[in-house]
Amino acid sequence: MFERNIEKELAFWADDKYRKPLVLRGARQVGKTTIVNRFARKFENYLPVNLEKPDALSLFESANNVKDLLPLLFLYCNVQRSEGRTLLFIDEIQNSPHTISLLRYFYEELPEIHVIAAGSLLETILDRHISLPVGRVQYMALHPCSFAEFLNAIGEARFLEPLNNANLPDIFHNRLNELFYRYSLIGGMPEAVARYAAERDFTVLDKVYNALLNAYKEDVEKYAKNSTQASVIRYILQEGWTFSGETITLGGFGGSPYKARETGEAFRMLEKAMLLELVYPLTSALMPMISDLKKAPKLFWFDTGLMNYAANIRKEYITSGDLIDTWRGKAAEQITAQELKTLSTDVGAKRNFWVRAKRGSAAEVDFVYHFDGSIIPIEVKSGNNAHLKSLHQFMDETAHDIAVRIWSGKYAIDEVKTQNNKIFRLINLPFYMISVLPEILKKM
């Protein structure tokens, strides 16, 4: 077990006098149960209940009054109630729609009890078989480990403070590039990170990745509405990893015989399971951020380590000297997308890229990031500042003067002029500093 950044968010939730029961959402095996068990150390009373166990399920299914249920939970968990705070953790809550409906009554009748719920397949059945009490619960998303969490796990936490302060001496640049490259290869699945931290051996991770992929494939029947959708989901889980970072077409995806409607439904189901995201473009450089759903999306998976294993591209990391060059640049875009995702625990947070609306234009910026009422463009690219043509075109169309280039070079802020003579500040951000982007933007 190692510390995860979300624990700070959980602490804020626990101290909020207006808190509601919390639904912790995330893909299977990203560490939801482990996080809650670790967080429970801060409470005097801990009641962990797993609704995959028949007796626990029966206890909740037979309850209609949460005040009467609470002493039974202490009895079931064999906990002698003491003075102080109580945390109730309901795991695999998707097994009981009745228990989900009870969450509102914990909020209304037992607000002093801290309640967290989670479920490995909860995402796929929400709004289809069950619905959460509107306005009576709140949500938090857990993602695979970020680079900062990876550093902590492998005993390199000494770099975290200077990284967070954007005050790291240049002499450590190569070392951090090396560590980030290693993280990009391993990914952020907690079991893979923990195994690597313990054994420092890449080869032992194959069994971890293989078990995870098999588990996701076994879940297909639970994800799917019908046999056709099950077939499409299986195909995506088998072949779709190689399309990470690419703009995709839903109809005939990957050379398949499936129609756009069938493929779209399957992708949306896998998005609900938080295994991937279809990232749509913006066509404006000005607020508000409106995704153009008529244009083709990019596909990004939730974890780069699993992607590397499933797409069989790990040798690329060994033969390539720069992440920017690995797998034709797609590896760099995938890990950037993953790091940007970890900047928020908001379940509804979406990523976007930008394409120029002008007819005949090929201008495209890899990502955009909403910050303080502005859309910040982000390019993942090396080379001379003058060669960032799409970034220049974006800056000519926006009102602010900040852009970001993510690369393997050192941290710097340059003053750049577009062909239309607009001067803007370009943040050259090493991969290992993506997590610090919000703090850097605040200072600027």
Query: pLDDT tens for residues 255-268?
Result: 999 999 999 999 99
What are the backbone dihedrals phi and psi of residue 268, each rounded to the nearest 5 degrees, phi first? -65, -35
Residue 109 CA: distances (Å) to CA of 20, 52, 57, 370, 418: 11, 26, 21, 38, 60
Cβ atoms of residues 276 and 144 within 8 Å = no
Superfamily of domain covering 6-141: P-loop containing nucleotide triphosphate hydrolases (3.40.50.300)
Domain regions of the chain by residue span: 6-141, 145-219+273-444
Residue 124's pLDDT is 67
Whether residue 270 is predicted with pLDDT greater than 70 in this model: the reply is: yes
Share of the chain above pLDDT 70, in %: 98
pLDDT in tens, 66-122: 999 999 999 999 999 999 999 999 999 989 989 999 999 999 999 999 999 998 777
Note the pLDDT of residue 123.
63
pLDDT at residue 54 tops 80: yes
Determine phi and psi for 134, rounding to 5 degrees: -65, 130
The C-alpha atoms of residue 36 and residue 220 are separated, in whole angstroms, by 26
- What span, in angstroms and rounded, lies between the C-alpha atoms of 315 and 326? 10
C-alpha–C-alpha distance, residues 87 and 44, integer Å: 8
Predicted local confidence at residue 414, as pLDDT: 96
Outline where 120-278 has alpha helix (H): 122-125, 147-153, 160-164, 173-186, 190-199, 206-218, 220-223, 227-239, 260-272
Average pLDDT score, the chain: 94
Average pLDDT over residues 362-369: 96
Q: Can you tell me the distance from the alpha carbon of 289 to that of 369, in angstroms, rounded to the nearest whole number?
A: 10
Which residue type is seen at 299?
Answer: L
Is 127 a residue whose pLDDT tops 60?
A: no
User: What is the C-alpha to C-alpha distance for residues 134 and 265, in angstroms, rounded to an integer?
Assistant: 25
pLDDT in tens, 107-126: 999 999 999 999 877 766 66
13 with 208: CB under 8 angstroms? no
CB-count exposure of residue 135 (10 Å: 0-12, 13-18, 19+): exposed
Question: Tens of pLDDT along 202-253?
Answer: 999 999 999 999 999 998 888 888 999 999 999 999 999 999 999 999 999 9
pLDDT of residue 222: 81
Alpha carbon distance, N-terminus to C-terminus of the chain:
36
Q: In the numeric block, which tokens belong to residue 325?
A: 């060059």
- Phi/psi for 3 (5° steps) reads -70, 140
Q: pLDDT per residue over 20-30, tens digit each? A: 999 999 999 99
Quick: pLDDT tens for 136-157.
999 999 999 999 999 999 999 9
> Which tokens hold the place of 213?
């992929």
Is the model's pLDDT at 434 over the cut of 60? yes
- Mark out the alpha helices in 16-164 (DSSP H runs): 32-39, 54-61, 66-76, 97-109, 122-125, 147-153, 160-164
Sign for the pseudo-dihedral over CA of 91, 96, 101, 102 = negative
